């Protein structure tokens, strides 16, 4: 055996030791989430085998059909964290309102916001899907968590991460001390450190966007994508296109290989003038991760981390990935709208 084996528990604990005043609550919360991720991963890997596949026939708050696995992932995260005394309130992409901590359990110092199973329209096709989470601190004074605790800008996050259920299951997280990735070893049931201190390249090789929406984008976004495809050998263009259509998978690929993911605002659906993705459950946590990895996230005009949320399920245009490329996208939007 050559390399040191570092479990996620040991890694989180070692990070905590750098902060002598830390109480261990955040450490324990991250560990609770890792445990929930293992349980969700187990069910996802059986998705093609058991009757859990198929639609429940209900619609979520975004008007999308909810699959059973989404419900399972949502319930698992709630069940693994609500009783611990570490959380004051939760919110999920699947649930229209706040998820309060039941009165029978103590109230904690943290807020958990999550997308339990992102990319779920891909489940039936065996495409990678993921769980995204964001942890904020309780800022309200009352005995329980409030909507105001959830509606905090991304730069206030205490931690964020995602789990990708792909060819292997990986958990990637940050507490503001770099980005670290762990691969689940299913034979021992542990997440082991496989990608310490992830840094994303400052320039992309790949761009990821649903180009079927081209005709619905603004002039600036259209021109930017044309620019990425135009040949200029010295400048490293054209870029290669990669679009899985599953945010966590697209983001993870670009984080490691260098790339820009975009979900711009479009005029296709007048109900969704701000694009498709949600600020609190998708854009803000991934923005925290990409910034810690040396990249950037923008809504086309300003850093995602600075956007003040106004409602739980708010959508936001997203340009995220290699720094120079996000800068360039903003430049096109500034010039051409």
Minimum CB separation from ligand FDP for residue 250, in Å? Answer: 6
Minimum CB separation from ligand FDP for residue 119, in Å? Answer: 4
Minimum CB separation from ligand FDP for residue 334, in Å? Answer: 25
Please, which residue, 210 or 308, has the CB nearer to ligand FDP?
210
How many H helices and E strands in the chain?
Answer: 8, 15
**Beta strand pairing call for 190-195 and 65-67:** unpaired
Minimum CB separation from ligand FDP for residue 130, in Å? Answer: 8
Q: Is 131 left (phi over 0), alpha (psi -120 to 50) or beta?
A: beta
Tokens linked to 16: 């905590």
Please, which residue, 12 or 307, has the CB nearer to ligand FDP?
307
Minimum CB separation from ligand FDP for residue 320, in Å? Answer: 11
Residues 230-249 that bind ligand FDP (CB under 6 A): 245-247
Whose structure tokens read 């090789």? 205
**Over the range 77-86, which residues count as b (16 or more CB within 10 Å of their CB) and which as e?**
bbebbbebeb
Tally the C-alpha atoms within 13 A of residue 35's C-alpha that lie toward its C-beta. 11
Task: Please list the residues that pair with 185 across neighbouring strands.
Answer: 190
Please, which residue, 119 or 201, has the CB nearer to ligand FDP?
119
Total site size for ligand FDP, rule CB under 6 A: 12
Please, which residue, 118 or 299, has the CB nearer to ligand FDP?
118
**Over the range 275-292, which residues count as b (16 or more CB within 10 Å of their CB) and which as e?**
bbbbbbbbbbbbbbbbbb
Please, which residue, 145 or 295, has the CB nearer to ligand FDP?
295
Minimum CB separation from ligand FDP for residue 215, in Å? Answer: 14
Q: What CA–CA distances, in Å, run from 113 to 16, 91, 102, 140, 189?
A: 21, 5, 17, 16, 25
Tokens linked to 237: 């263009």
Please, which residue, 62 or 183, has the CB nearer to ligand FDP?
62
Please, which residue, 145 or 275, has the CB nearer to ligand FDP?
275
Minimum CB separation from ligand FDP for residue 251, in Å? Answer: 8
Please, which residue, 15 or 213, has the CB nearer to ligand FDP?
213
Taking CB under 6 A as the rule, does residue 252 contact ligand FDP? no
What is the separation of C-alpha 16 from the centre of its chain, rounded to a whole number of angstroms?
22
Tokens linked to 34: 């890792």
Do residues 248 and 257 lie in contact, with contact meaning Cβ atoms separated by under 8 Å?
A: no
Please, which residue, 84 or 122, has the CB nearer to ligand FDP?
122
Residues 275-294 that bind ligand FDP (CB under 6 A): 276-277, 282
Task: Please list the residues that pair with 160 across neighbouring strands.
Answer: 134, 174
- CB proximity list for 325: less than 8 A, separation 6 or greater: 203, 204, 207, 259, 260
Closest CA to 84 of 98, 72, 99, 102: 102
Residues 106-125 that bind ligand FDP (CB under 6 A): 118-122
For residue 238, the SS3 value is coil
Query: How far apart (Å, rounded) are the C-alpha atoms in residues 200 and 259?
Result: 8
Binding mask 78-97 toward ligand FDP (x if CB under 6 A, else -) reads --------------------
Minimum CB separation from ligand FDP for residue 247, in Å? Answer: 3
Choosing from 56, 210, 240, 306, the residue that interacts with ligand FDP (CB under 6 A) is 210
Minimum CB separation from ligand FDP for residue 131, in Å? Answer: 11
User: Which residues are at the interface with ligand FDP (CB under 6 A)?
Assistant: 118-122, 210, 245-247, 276-277, 282
């Amino acid at each position: 055996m050559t390399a040191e084996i570092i479990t996620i528990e040991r890694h989180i604990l070692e990070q905590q030791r750098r902060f002598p005043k830390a109480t261990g609550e955040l450490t324990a919360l991250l560990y609770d989430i890792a445990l929930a991720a293992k349980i969700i991963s187990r069910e996802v890997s059986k998705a093609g085998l058991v009757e859990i596949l198929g639609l429940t026939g209900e619609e979520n708050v975004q008007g999308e059909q909810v699959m059973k696995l989404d419900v399972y992932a949502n319930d698992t995260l709630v069940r693994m964290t609500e009783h611990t005394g570490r959380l004051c309130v939760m919110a999920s992409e699947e649930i229209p309102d706040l998820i309060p901590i039941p009165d029978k359990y103590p109230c904690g110092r943290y807020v958990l916001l999550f997308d339990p199973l992102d990319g779920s329209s891909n489940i039936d096709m065996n495409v990678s899907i993921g769980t995204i989470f964001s942890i904020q601190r309780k800022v309200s004074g009352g005995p329980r968590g409030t909507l105001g605790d959830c509606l905090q800008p991304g730069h206030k996050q205490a931690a964020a991460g995602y789990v990708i259920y792909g060819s292997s299951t990986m958990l990637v997280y940050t507490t503001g001390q770099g980005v670290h990735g762990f691969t689940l070893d299913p034979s021992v049931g542990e997440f082991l450190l496989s990608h310490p201190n992830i840094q994303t390249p400052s320039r992309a090789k790949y761009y990821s966007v649903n180009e079927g929406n081209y005709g619905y984008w603004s002039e600036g976004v259209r021109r930017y994508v044309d620019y990425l495809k135009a040949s200029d050998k010295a400048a490293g263009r054209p870029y290669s296109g990669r679009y899985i259509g599953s945010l966590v998978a697209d983001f993870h690929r670009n984080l490691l290989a260098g790339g820009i993911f975009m979900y711009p605002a479009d005029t296709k659906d007048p109900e969704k003038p701000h694009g498709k993705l949600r600020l609190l459950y998708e854009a803000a946590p991934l923005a925290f991760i990409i910034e810690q990895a040396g990249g950037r996230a923008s809504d086309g005009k300003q850093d995602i981390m600075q956007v003040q949320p106004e409602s739980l399920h708010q959508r936001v245009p997203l340009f995220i990935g290699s720094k120079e490329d996000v800068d360039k996208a903003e430049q096109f939007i500034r010039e051409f709208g």
